[in-house]
Chains A and B, each alone.
Chain A
Amino acid sequence: MNSETKTHPELSDLFNKDEQRVDWHDQTLWWIRQKRDKSAHSIPEWEILREKASEIKNNALSNLADYLVSFEQKALANGIIVHWAADAQEHNEIVHGILQKHGIRKMVKSKSMLTEECHLNEYLEKQGLEVIDSDLGERIVQLAKEPPSHIVLPCIHKKKEEIGDLFHEHLGVPAGTSDPQILTEAARQHLRETFLTRKAALTGVNFAIAETGEFVVCTNEGNADMGAHLADVHIACMGIEKIIPKRKHLGVFLRLLARSATGQPITTYSSHFKKPRAGQEMHLVLVDNGRTIQMGREDFRASLKCIRCGACMNTCPVYRRSGGHSYNYTISGPIGAILAPNLDREKYADLPFASTLCGSCSNVCPVKIDIHQQLYKWRQVIVQEGYATSSKKMSMKIMNYTLSSPSVYRTAGKAGRWVLKYIPFAVNNHFNPWYKQRDMPDAPKESFGEWYKKNVK
């Protein structure tokens, strides 16, 4: 199936063919939302923390140019080699260039949503290089040749039995294995060999500190450290929005990140990198790839505050019932739906509409991004730029014509109710998406307006 050509509603429809699976997916993610709630409620100052984080990020974005220059100066002084990439292509070429210089053909990579966004793996594979993802979830989707369905839990859409089948095929575990302990151990042995033999390791960056030139990588598996500490070359890739002004601000974000993501007080590893160890080369690639354009859009710039915790996905009632792959973009869920249109309005025109605007996403966001307000605003932009379907345009014009005139409205209302009452098959048929799985309301004998006229005046 070529999912590239299908829209969010179409892919969600497919996902919903297996209702039990939808229930399982929904409940798994809801359980994580509940863990998040419990963890957040254990911190009385939670809402103040969110506000602080939001303010720090606002400051970082407003002064981004200065902070980036300061960060580069400090990083260079620390002995890190700094690269700047305008877009995904440049980013991929830079990484490839570093590997070529060292004659390296195999690389280990810990979780980095940026490299997913840039499609680095595919690029390097085309050049004949091998990349192994060392985050367990990412390794699983890599073996399955799928993109991650969630930014924190890349293989949350897979059941343990399916992972067992994959590991049987690729890692040689006995057929029918589904015990998570045995599967994890198999992955551990497989990855240990990878860590020991790779000369280059790529990691993401969670926070980059302008004041010191340091960067921090958060993982639960220690895989970033295993890779970076054993390799001769460490390449860290980051979007330019990852900057925070000072080291003292880290505490605010580290307290929020894992609690929002999984309900843990902190990620198991929060690794601080400052300079290469003796004999090691350390590279930092700073990537724009559309971020400066988003910065220039006043209504949407706050989306760049995102620290990639995934809380908005876990809470989103649509995401939980449509799955991450229904979004067709590296970053799924509500945050993906406001980031994707920045890059391509036509391709991602359906995403801002994949929401009821319930607002739960904005409430769990640890940096207080107004996600659902931005969804509403993207809808306006997408329609104004001409990406609405023609049938939708027509129905909106008819609706507007009807609702702009009290007399047209009253006539149409009567007609509508008459149709509902006397020829229900006209609306109760499968061409009406409402009626497919829901009944229409009963047609009352009179409208409120008619009752009022009779009884009050």
Chain B
Amino acid sequence: MKRVGLFIPCYVDQFYPNAGIATYQLLKKLGLDVTYPTGQTCCGQPMANSGFEHLTQDCNQLFVDNFAEFDYIVSPSGSCVLHVKEHLHTAQSENQAAEIRTKVYELVEFLVDVMKVKNLKAKFPHKVGLHQSCHGQRGLLLTQMSELVAPYFSKPQQLLSQVEGLELIELKREDECCGFGGTFCVVEEAVSVKMGKDRVKDHLSNGAEYITGADMSCLMHMEGILKRGNSKVKVLHIAEILNAG
């Protein structure tokens, strides 16, 4: 049987364990051999996106040591997966790093492209807004991008459409960034918050009860804004919805 290494990004591990648990359970339901290597920490993206890629050597080596042995590496975060795909390099084990770059998958793309999931047996009777996180969308091509003149597809939608009772709301701006952007959210606080407020408003004015997506970081950002505005609307990682009911 193919072995799956579960890559749970640092902030999901620390702040959103339920997204990690749902991911683990979903993969187990599909009959996969799933292991969470306990020596993992982070993909190094927060440093690299801040211009400190040269500091990420140890992080990268740690990633390779933890994940080289698996057939697939799956993670509930488009952004972290994209970072590994584009920037995982190590001085000592570049061959293994190169192999990892081709076998690391974001959860949604793994379910759709590798597992070819067509019948999820999940139930979530709510109005849901789908946030297209940029790195998952424009980097991993989870959903067609509104800028391009090309046929439409959406892998997260493909999965959400299998969930019983779920009603996907329409948004005014289907794929605008939420303004999280890693350290951008503190360095460029004013613009980041305004972007987040605008994104949240789009979901609220279209009647969302939940906002979901394939990247917890964007959801964490929007949750911060929702909570500050005392909104009842909740954020949930897509794995939690696909694993519900």
Residues of A within 8 A of B (CB): 8-9, 12-13, 15-16, 19, 22, 26, 30, 37, 40-41, 43-44, 46-47, 315, 317-318, 321-322, 352-360, 362-364, 376, 379-380, 382-384, 388, 392, 396-397, 399-400, 402-406, 409, 413, 416-417, 432-434, 436-441, 443-444, 446-453, 456
Contacts and interface: CB of A to CB of B under 8 A. Distances in A.
B206 to A, nearest CB: 17
B33 interface: no
B140 to A, nearest CB: 11
Contacts of A317: 176-177, 179, 195
B184 interface: yes
B30 interface: no
Contacts of B177: 317, 356, 358, 360
B188 interface: yes
Contacts of B36: 448-449, 452, 456
A379 B38 contact: no
Contacts, number: 210
Interface of B: 8, 10, 12-18, 20-21, 24, 36, 38-42, 44, 46-56, 58-59, 62, 134-135, 138-139, 145-150, 173, 176-177, 179-182, 184-196, 198, 220-221, 223-225, 227-228
Contacts of B188: 8-9, 12, 318, 353-354
A355 B55 CA distance: 21
Q: Of A360, A382, A384, which is in contact with the most chain B CB atoms at under 10 Å from its CB?
A: A360
- Tell me the dominant secondary structure on chain A's binding face: helix
A335 to B, nearest CB: 15
B189 A436 contact: yes
B52 A396 contact: yes
Contact of A353 (B13, B135, B187, B223): B187
B147 A360 contact: yes
Nearest to B181: A356
Nearest to A453: B38
Given A439-B227, A449-B36, A396 B12 contact: no
A175 to B, nearest CB: 33
A154 B45 CA distance: 36
14 contacts: A9-B187, A315-B147, A354-B191, A355-B181, A357-B135, A358-B177, A358-B181, A360-B138, A383-B50, A396-B55, A406-B40, A449-B36, A451-B20, A456-B24
Nearest to A432: B186
B138 A437 contact: no
Contact of A439 (B41, B47, B145, B224): B224
Nearest to A22: B194
Contacts of B186: 432-434
Contacts of A353: 50-51, 184, 187-188
Nearest to B150: A47
A403 B41 CA distance: 6
A448 B17 contact: yes
Contacts of A355: 181, 184
A404 B227 CA distance: 32
A2 to B, nearest CB: 20
A451 B17 contact: yes
B77 to A, nearest CB: 12
Contacts of B15: 417, 441, 443-444
A438 B190 contact: no
Contact of A363 (B147, B194, B227): B147
A404 B51 contact: no
Contact of B225 (A315, A380, A437): A437
A404 B55 CA distance: 10
A380 B190 contact: no
A12 B190 contact: yes
A363 B173 CA distance: 16
User: Which 3 A-B pairs give the minimum distances between C-beta atoms?
Assistant: A356-B181, A438-B224, A383-B51
Nearest to A393: B52
Given A317-B176, A397-B55, A40 B149 contact: yes
Contacts of B39: 406
B139 A400 contact: no
Given A451-B17, A451-B21, A321 B52 contact: no
A261 to B, nearest CB: 15
B224 A434 contact: yes
A438 B196 contact: yes
A392 B184 CA distance: 12
